[in-house]
Structure 1
Amino acid sequence: MEELMKRVLQTAGEHRLWQPGDTVIVALSGGPDSTALLHVLYRIAAEQRLTLVAAHVNHGFRVEESEVEAQLVQRYCEQLGVPCEIARLNVPAYMEETKLNAQLAARELRYAYLEQVAQRYNASRIALGHHADDQAETVLMRLIRGTGTGGLAGIMIKRQEKNVELIRPLLRINKSDILSYCQEHELPYSTDSSNLQRYYFRNVVRLDILPFLENYNPQLTESLNRLSELAGADDDFMEQQTADLFGRLVRQVPGGFRVQRGALLKLHVALQRRLIKLILNYLALEMESASFDRVESVRYAAMDDKNTIWRTDLGDGIRFIREYDTLQWLNGQPLSGGDYEYPIVKETQRVVVAEAGVEFIVDFINPDHEAAGAKPHHLTEVWFDPDEIRFPLIIRNRRPGDRMAVLGLNGTKKVQDMFVDDKVPATQRELMPILCDAEGRLLWIPGIRRSSYALPRSAGAAVLRVRKITRAE
């Protein structure tokens, strides 16, 4: 068996690029890479129990040249006896509609078409002709533009895309070996004239930058491919670690996610960055939203020991908010749900305050009650002299100018000041429940303070008990 085929089979087995019985769509441009790919897969199809379908895309750029390529592809597939699907797409019109550049617009339409063909044939794989030289160019382009270790991984040898898997059986094969294979087997292929135009950055890298650098390292392509292998394995491991941390440390809140500052800062800086990036990607669904500058702005805000309140616009509709030791990433509308009020009459036993995610249990404790003589837990419950309470009570969020006659203090204190003193995050202040009486007097802010009004007369006396219970998120 020829060396190139051995290497393809070795790669396929190592990465499980296909399974016996699979239908594989081969993206056939008509160039030497995809032509060789189809030929190799055709030769091993019977042994590997593969069903092949070729798919060719005419992008509508090089009108006459593209038609010649389509005819060449059609004849080649007929010669092999492989079904061939051909699409003629109007990429220039799509560019005008979406404002994308030529390469991105062509890529979007091409992949969409390949997925349609895969669905039509119930195919589980789409085979692409990327090779080792493409990988070297990609890694070098990302180095020049700036990238992290994930970017150094370059092109993935397989990747799930919707309901199909994109596979690249030639990714470890050099271009020169592919051309030799085509020559040896007299395979018909075309040469895309646009590959010589330096308008595209990739072409500049291929035609000018790589050849220049190879003067200093003749094995540069191999070195860049080795770097992508190492970086890819490291990146995969780190992604697994980050996904595990996300499940353990990140909590979902309305409109976004929350992390405790201490939990983030305990992580190694590499995991801090990846966790922040993962949160941003979940919110924006675009890798561009997790740029290095955006990630670092969040890290610096979390590390700052002097400024405990941060609000940063990260773009794409994402806001980062640090309030003391709580970090939040929010997408869309603020958490506040507006004003709310819930009345409590003497017969009320339970009140659910959905806006604050809590509920209140109201009951009377007589002197013979098992809880009589105990002391309330000031964070979650409060006791009143029932004879001094004016019904109906009201549970509401704060209003401008709210003040309370705080137990143990002379005079009154602003609710706003109490929130600041107790480090209540600003995003939660508008939702915090406050218990008032029928005359508007503030009786209790759960977890913060109670008023000096309607204190129980003595230990063991009858009391009105109000308890706060946090509802499950």
Structure 2
Amino acid sequence: MDEWLSELTELAREEKLWSPGDTLVVAVSGGPDSMALLHLLHRLSAPERLTLVAAHVDHGFRGEESAREAETVRQYAAALGVPCESTFIDMPAYIEESRMNGQAASREKRYAYLHGIAHTYGASRIALAHHADDQAETVLMRIIRGTGLGGLAGIPISRFEKNVELIRPLLRKYKADILRYCDLWAVPYSHDSSNGHKHYFRNVVRLDILPYLSAHNPQFPQSLVRLAELAAAEDDWLAQETKAVYERHVLPYREGCQLNRKALLGLHVALQRRLIKLILSYIGLETETTSFESIETIRLAALESAATTWSFDAGGGIRFVREYDNLLFVRPSGEERPPDGYAYEAEEGTTSLLLPEAEGILTFEAMAASAAQRPGNRLEALFDADAIRYPLTIRNRRPGDRMAVLGLNGTKKVQDMFVDDRVAPSRREVLPIVVDANGLVLWIPGIRRSASAQITDSTRSVIRMKARFASDFTV
């Protein structure tokens, strides 16, 4: 086995590019890279027990030249004894119809065809002929356009797409080496004339920018490839760390997620940014196009100096909301609460009342005064049973609501009490208020009880009211 085969075999073991017995679809354009890949994999197919299928797409951009390429691919695959599937797509017409970018539209159609062939043949992997020079160009293009660590990682040697793994066995080989391989083994290939057209940004990078920079550093392409390898490893490690942080600190919240502000600030700034991006991705935002400015806006909103209640449109129907120390990432469901809110009656003798709008339940327990113990927290309150005027109404707040607060002279606006107790704005509209038959606010669970129906030495019987809320809806 020659050096190329031994290196490729070792790479396949190291990167788990395939397993013995796999069926591979080999994307073959007709250029030297893909024709060399087909030849290499054919040589490996017996020792590795691989079944190969060549797949070619004629995009219809170059007329007779494209047709000749397709025929070259079919003839060479036949000479190797490899089945070949090919198709013609009128890309100019599709681009005009779809208004898509030409390269993006071509990629979409090409990959759709390759996935279709993989499905037909039961192939678990699609082999692509990207090489080290492609990697260097990709990294440099992303640097020019602006990128982060993930972008510097460049083209991955393998990744899953639609339950099929895309593999790039030549990613560590340079173009010059591939051309020498084709000459050595008399592998036929075509020249794509569009590679010289400078209206494609990649061609400008390949023909002008890379050669200019390489004049200052002859090893510049190799430096870019090393940068991609380093960035890929570090990006993978950071991704794992971010996922672990997500599992520790992020909780579900209705149609999204919630995160404690101080938990976010306790992370290194690199993890803060990645965690925000991961949360947005998990709740359905296409984060590939999310700007650095959007991520940074959310991150800075968690600072102590930022507004304690604030919201921001993160795009894609996702809204970020800061409510004091709680950071919410929500996708509105489109269901709005009725304008009049909610209201339930509790007659004397009621033992429990479900409050779906508040995601909670209110219980009422009658007992002798001698058996009553002091409330354990602000989600419990004791009232003189004989001083309560029934029926009680349990509802959300109304404009002008006031309470005669225990320990204070006069009354206080419920709205002001919510602000003082840092009740999140989204919860102020659903938090239950217990009102007696005379319209007096008796209690706001978790906030305050009123001066009405207090327990005294003459109290004979007591009503203990207790509220319980869902874990993600505590006051």
TM-score (norm 1): 0.95
Q: Matched residues in 2 for 1:344 and 1:121: separation?
A: 67
Per-residue deviation, 1:80: 1.2
Q: Matched residues in 1 for 2:3 and 2:141: separation?
A: 30
Q: Matched residues in 2 for 1:126 and 1:433: separation?
A: 58
Q: Matched residues in 2 for 1:460 and 1:99: separation?
A: 79
Say which SS state the counterpart of residue 374 (structure 1) adopts: coil
Number of aligned residues = 470
1:154 corresponding residue in structure 2: 154
2:299 corresponding residue in structure 1: 299
Per-residue deviation, 1:357: 1.7
Per-residue deviation, 1:307: 2.6
User: Given that residues 54 and 85 in structure 1 are in contact (C-alpha distance below 8 angstroms), is that contact kept between their aligned partners in structure 2?
Assistant: yes
Q: Matched residues in 1 for 2:39 and 2:306: separation?
A: 65
Question: Can you give the 5+ residue segments of structure 2 that lack an aligned partner in the other structure?
Answer: none
Alignment of 1:157-306 (within 5 A): 157-305=157-305
Q: Matched residues in 1 for 2:372 and 2:390: separation?
A: 24
2:342 corresponding residue in structure 1: 340
User: Given that residues 345 and 392 in structure 2 are in contact (C-alpha distance below 8 angstroms), is that contact kept between their aligned partners in structure 1?
Assistant: yes
Per-residue deviation, 1:451: 1.1
Q: Matched residues in 2 for 1:61 and 1:355: separation?
A: 59
**CA, structure 1 residues 178+401, in 2 after alignment: closer, same or farther (shift >3 Å)?**
same
Alignment of 1:395-410 (within 5 A): 395-410=394-409
Q: Give the letter aligned to residue 351 of structure 2.
A: Q
Alignment of 1:43-442 (within 5 A): 43-305=43-305, 307-333=307-333, 337-338=337-338, 339-367=341-369, 372-442=371-441
Q: After the TM superposition, which of the residue ranges 1-10 and 257-266 deviates more from structure 2?
A: 1-10
| 1:428-472 superposed Cα distances (whole Å, 9 cap, x missing partner) | 211211112233321111111111111223387311111111235
| 1:414-441 superposed Cα distances (whole Å, 9 cap, x missing partner) | 1111111111111221121111223332
Q: Matched residues in 2 for 1:221 and 1:419: separation?
A: 61
**What is the aligned-residue RMSD (CA, Å)?**
1.8
Q: After the TM superposition, which of the residue ranges 299-308 and 456-465 deviates more from structure 2?
A: 456-465
Q: Matched residues in 1 for 2:77 and 2:95: separation?
A: 30
**CA, structure 1 residues 99+288, in 2 after alignment: closer, same or farther (shift >3 Å)?**
farther
| 1:264-320 superposed Cα distances (whole Å, 9 cap, x missing partner) | 011011111110111122234423343211111112111242532222222222222
Per-residue deviation, 1:93: 4.0
Q: Matched residues in 1 for 2:405 and 2:97: separation?
A: 63
User: Given that residues 373 and 459 in structure 1 are in contact (C-alpha distance below 8 angstroms), is that contact kept between their aligned partners in structure 2?
Assistant: no
User: Given that residues 55 and 86 in structure 2 are in contact (C-alpha distance below 8 angstroms), is that contact kept between their aligned partners in structure 1?
Assistant: yes
Q: Matched residues in 1 for 2:403 and 2:199: separation?
A: 70
Say which SS state the counterpart of residue 378 (structure 2) adopts: coil
Q: Give the letter aligned to residue 366 of structure 2.
A: F
User: Given that residues 25 and 127 in structure 2 are in contact (C-alpha distance below 8 angstroms), is that contact kept between their aligned partners in structure 1?
Assistant: yes
User: Given that residues 95 and 101 in structure 1 are in contact (C-alpha distance below 8 angstroms), is that contact kept between their aligned partners in structure 2?
Assistant: yes
Q: Matched residues in 2 for 1:6 and 1:256: separation?
A: 49
Q: Matched residues in 1 for 2:66 and 2:111: separation?
A: 18
Tell me whether 1:470 sits opposite 2:469 in the alignment.
yes
Question: Can you give the 5+ residue segments of structure 1 that lack an aligned partner in the other structure?
Answer: none
User: Given that residues 152 and 231 in structure 1 are in contact (C-alpha distance below 8 angstroms), is that contact kept between their aligned partners in structure 2?
Assistant: yes
Say which SS state the counterpart of residue 214 (structure 1) adopts: helix
Q: Give the letter aligned to residue 117 of structure 1.
A: I
**CA, structure 1 residues 98+251, in 2 after alignment: closer, same or farther (shift >3 Å)?**
farther
| 1:100-134 superposed Cα distances (whole Å, 9 cap, x missing partner) | 20111111121122111111111111110000000
Per-residue deviation, 1:162: 2.0
Say which SS state the counterpart of residue 7 (structure 1) adopts: helix
Q: Give the letter aligned to residue 344 of structure 2.
A: Y
Per-residue deviation, 1:249: 0.7
Per-residue deviation, 1:219: 0.8
Say which SS state the counterpart of residue 215 (structure 1) adopts: helix
